[in-house]
Amino acid sequence: MAQIILISFLIFSIAGLILKIILNRVNSKYIRQHANQVPKGFEEKIDLENHQKAQRYSIAKLNFGIVSNLIAFISLYISLFFIYGWVDEFVRSNFEYSSKIQGLIFFGILSLISMIVSLPESIYSTFVLEEKFGFNKTTPKIFLIDIFKGILLSCLIGAPFLYFLLYLMESLGELWWLAGASAFLVFQFFLIWAYPKFIAPLFNKFTPLKDVELEKEMNALIERANLSFKDYYVMNASLRSSHGNAYFTGFGKNKRIVFFDTLLKTLSTEEVIAVMAHELGHLKHKHIIKSLMKSIVFLYIGFYILGLLSKSAWFYQIFSELQPSNYMALTLFSSLVPIYTFFLTPLFSWLSRKNEYEADKFACDHANGQDLINALIKMYKDNSSTLTPHPTYSKFYFSHPPALERINYIRSCIN
């Protein structure tokens, strides 16, 4: 069985890497071929200079993505065949504590190694790539503070949960996976609930919307949509980037719609209302809850498989002679799952785009569809988003419909 899993891992991981590189190269070539002409329907809003900037920015990100994928591929292989075993031996030899504490130390060391390996990529992405195209506003001080806050949150929230999960694995026998999946589900709901009010404010400042005229229009939209909602906030996204966006987050009493301050500077009142109507569409159609329901199915299936593998001696001998332990089972499983689930990406992307279409339809029904089009075009322009991605690439990866398809769909809703 170990040899079968190893062979399948080699096939899936190598095939996945090749597919990623091919998709990136095909998309780069397609974007380059459409760099000299603004697509029909966008000529009045986006000039050739901004269109070509978006094409160059997209190609630069795709090229960087190939390098990142290669680094991730090499790092995974080194980790599976060398680092996991070396770190485990180091922890067992130098920390004579319970297996649960050893597991936390093991995870801590791996996290530190991962952070060091990924740091050059983060620095390049922020201070070279984003800086080159005029989007970066992050200072080295903010960059370092963000890293420190991330580490602190991992210690305060992640470590206690991992300890509890290891406790369940050790104490509940063969059915631990059921309790483990349930605990993970509760933890996931807690994070979604806590993120808007307690976690996100550690990194950005959120202030209630203070534009009286805009708030009046928003309240009218809420009434037209027959919804009960009043929590709309402005985030100081300009602290780190000039990219603009808006999103819906949280659930229960902590749900809110967040507008980037960079977005509000460029959109008119009518366009902001249209964007808000889109976000309310996600609320009305319960997209977050539906996505959670889908993830719950995969969650319990995943934990069931982990429960079987964690008790199998051959599972720890696939890549090297690793000593069986609960924390090693978690590590190996979490390393292998993305390799196999990568090929489900088009399915998840399609489901996400379906939600976006529903939210756009809702916006057209309760606001002005042309205002939504105008807002989106401004966002494409300000964020240097390519208007001409390769159809296969967008179907595989895009969580939102590509520009041309999305604008045409909204126009059909208007008509």
- Given the residues 130, 271, 360, 371, the one annotated as active site: 360
Backbone φ, ψ for residue 247 (5° rounding) = -155, 160
Strand partners, 260: 235
Task: Give kind and range of the element (H or E) at residue 208.
Answer: strand 206-208
Q: How far apart are CA 159 and CA 255, in angstroms?
A: 26
State the Cα–Cα distance between residues 246 and 233, nearest whole angstrom: 10
What's the Cα-to-Cα distance from 82 to each of 85, 310, 316, 321, rounded to whole Å? 6, 20, 13, 10
Is residue 360 flagged as an active site residue?
A: yes
Q: Which of 88, 130, 279, 371 is catalytic?
A: 279
User: Measuring CA to CA, which residue among 243, 322, 346 is closest to residue 23?
Assistant: 346
Sign of the CA dihedral 278, 279, 283, 285? Answer: positive
139 Cβ neighbours under 8 A, 6+ residues apart = none
**SS3 state of residue 31:** helix
> Strand pairing partners for 206?
235
Distance CA 11, CA 231 (A): 48
Record the tokens describing residue 250, joined without a space.
Answer: 């949280």
Closest residue by Cα to residue 298 from 310, 287, 306, 309: 306
Q: Rounded to whole angstroms, how far apart are CA atoms 406 and 42?
A: 13
**DSSP label of 324:** P
3-state secondary structure (DSSP) of residue 319: coil
> Is residue 306 a contact partner of residue 330, using CB atoms and an 8 Å limit?
yes
User: What does the alpha-carbon distance between residue 219 and residue 376 come to, in Å, rounded to a whole number?
Assistant: 22
Tokens of 382: 């300000």
Question: If you count them, how many residues does the chain have?
Answer: 415
Q: Is 206 helix (H, G, I), strand (E, B) or coil?
A: strand
Residue 279 a catalytic site member: yes
- Given the DSSP bridges, would you call strands 256-260 and 232-235 parallel, antiparallel or unpaired? parallel
Q: Which are the catalytic amino acids?
A: 279, 360
